Amino acid sequence: MIELHAHTTYSDGILTPQQLVERAASAGVKALAITDHDTLYGWNEAIAAAVPHNIEIIPGVELSTVYNGRSLHVLGY
C-alpha cells in the first residue's frame, strides 16, 4: 500500500513526521509521500523514522498559489 499525500505538523497535519511514519507502518504502508504545505522541513525526520520500518519516503511538497484570483494547491514530488 502507498500513501502519496500526507501532511505533518510542519503544515496542517496533526502528527509529527515520526508519528506519521509510525501510523503508516502500523497500517501496512510501504511508501509514504510527505507533502506538507509550502515547506520541506518534515522530510529528514520522516526518512530517519522510516528506516526501522522499511518504509520508502517520497519527498514532496504542496505549493500554495493563486491563479486568476483562485487559490490553488499544486503537488510536486
List pLDDT tens digits, range 47-76. 999 999 999 999 999 999 999 999 999 999
- Predicted confidence at residue 4, as pLDDT, reads 97
The residues with which 74 forms a beta bridge, in sequence order, are 63
- Predicted confidence at residue 8, as pLDDT, reads 98
Q: How many CB atoms lie within 10 A of CB 53?
A: 14
The residues with which 56 forms a beta bridge, in sequence order, are 31
Count of structural domains, the chain: 1
Phi/psi at 31 (5° precision):
-140, 130
Domain that holds residue 49: 2-76
Over pLDDT 90: what percentage of the chain?
100
CA distances from 53 to 28, 34, 46, 75 (A): 10, 16, 11, 25
Q: Where are the alpha helices (DSSP H) in the chain?
A: 17-26, 42-50
